[in-house]
Structure 1
Amino acid sequence: MTKTWRAAVAMTVLTVAVAGCATATGSAVAAVDPPAAGAGSAPVTQHDGWTVGGALALLPATALPAGEAFVTVGDLVGASGHAGVEHPAGAAGSITVLEWASAVSAPRADATVAALLPEVAQPASLALADDFRAEVGWNLADVETFAEITAPPDRFSVLTGPIDEADLTAAMGTPVEGVWSVGPDVDGRQDLAGRTVARPLGEGLRTASADGAVAVSRATAPLRQWVAGGGRTLAEDPSLAALAAALDEREVYAAVLVPDATDAVGEHAALAPFGAMAVGLAVEDGVPVLVVAYRYDTAAAAAGDVATLTDLVRNGAAADGRPWADRLDVGEVSAEGAVLTGSFTVHGPPSVAWQLIATRDALATHR
């Protein structure tokens, strides 16, 4: 198993088993009761026209290393609307943040949504969200949408929401050349004695702000390049752009994209080799929908797997041996150009979507 897939496993375990329902030590606890939507509040199902393609446009191409990396994107306001709860929007306390995160991400059997949460917000430690805010000037309650590149041990995150530069300065001090810093002054250095909720390994954390968004990284140079702008973004990557278009057509509120899936070879895989893939979640008529998309080298290869993907869901089994037909109903499976896309109604926890990559399921691997 390569670093890409090990990283995906770590992300999935964190999101599904811990996010939104964790103690200060990161151990999973029972999901808490979700907060009710405010009186007279109208459900929001998509935040200001959020799209996967737009999220990718926030991420600089230079932050994506060759090969071993994955990209997560999410619309937390839209996910909140689908879940029937209000996004906490701003300076909410730790308990409020924890309750809301549980409502939109805990793996409940009757859940409508299973939102991804940005790793940079340390979702395993939401019981300490107030401490997180005290150190860096924001916490998960301030994040409305996010896009994140993870290539362990590196990560590059871009957040949108009511994150105020004055709060960043109050927490982290005056920025130097546009970059706020906490932790060790030298990029990459760790101080285990100085570990905090925002920096669990005692690493340095750098933050920058531009055009209404905030970027966070462990390295200074990528942030300065991001602030300067003008460079290529992940939205200009042909494979990722094609996958994003397929996901946006189905109005997903969260997705994981694997830019290089050439190593996603499964022992009993049925799908033909694909170069990149994505998994997303949407809600249609109040029902969770799993969306998968694959980018092949040719249109013929994508078209050739329409029947294969359909058969996998109707007659195949998940990595745990349970028939997919017990969990998914086939919606639409189609190929457009070199992209194969399938949408499937989910029975049970929609968080099953994020387990596909972690378990090297037949829906996420190829021959």
Structure 2
Amino acid sequence: MAVKNKQIRIGIIGAGGIFRSRHFPGLAKIADAEVTAICNRSVASGRKIAQEFKLDPDIMTDPHALIARKDIDAVMIGTWPYMHMPFVLDSLDAGKHTWVQARMAMNLREAKAMYARAEETGLATQICQPPHALGGDYYMRHLISTGYVGDITNVIVRSMNGSLLNPKTPLHWRQIGRYSGLNTMAVGMLVEFVHRWCGYTASVTAQAETFVKQRPAGRGKMGDVERPDTVNVLSTLENGATAVYLFSGAAHCAPNEQIEIYGTKGTLVYHTNVDLRKQKIYGAKSNAAKLAEIKIPKRHQREWTIEQDFIDAIRTGENAESTFYQGVKYMEFTEAVFRSVEQGATVRLPIVD
């Protein structure tokens, strides 16, 4: 359902910090898109961010009224995950092209419902991609597909830091189940890149711990920490490789976040960073004694074009990454992690219930 030869009018629900740091600067570069309306919890917050970026949209506080507007072609949803499914379904039902902030949903059930509705409507849909390994994403796919590592045997993902060690650090909404769902730390974000480069997951065995059980929740009260601060996952991929994931916010001076891919003919190690320009690839063929940096050729470098990708999807009718199907697959992995922890057992994928 491509849209040709018109200005794309966008309504935004939940224009907060991520819109300030990434999405408004991205939208500002697009000549054939305009922000028609912003819906925040308060008029003041909506007006403030609009003025900051010299925008002149209608400022609203009723998201359903924004979705119902006839003068809006596309809706971008930047709320916390607990409102992603309701707003996405309403937006699609109203005939709007729909973009949603990551993580896709609260759980696998919601993600599947969103994907099914998107397939029914044929409208353009997109999930915001994580930046962590985006800069060299295309080149990693190229290196692996052209045989740099040979057959993949092992994948190790390390995402460990000390951000959650201090018990005085206030409770974050991401640690509250009713807001974040099953999403925790960088679990879904990094498995998305593993899926792109190495294939989908076949089984998950997971263990999780929460070392700080309560945190300051404001007004002198303490709140329960409902999401773990350490998650370890042993999994298999559909191609037969093993994949190990180490996630922790309780690891002082841990090595920097990286994705390691080992194969029969070589090794690739991706050093992640939220700044695409600081991401690096290291590699070694089987006859090399140590890793060496592999420069990413300009033709393979990815830039932050998430907002332009969405507008292009509306124009062409071809959905851009992250697609809703990719979102379903990383939510399936996240769901499997939590089921494995709860059941103390291995969970086989795909999950069909």
User: Normalization by structure 2: what TM-score?
Assistant: 0.27
Between the two structures, name the one with larger relative contact order (CA 8 Å, sep ≥ 6).
2
Higher strand share: 2
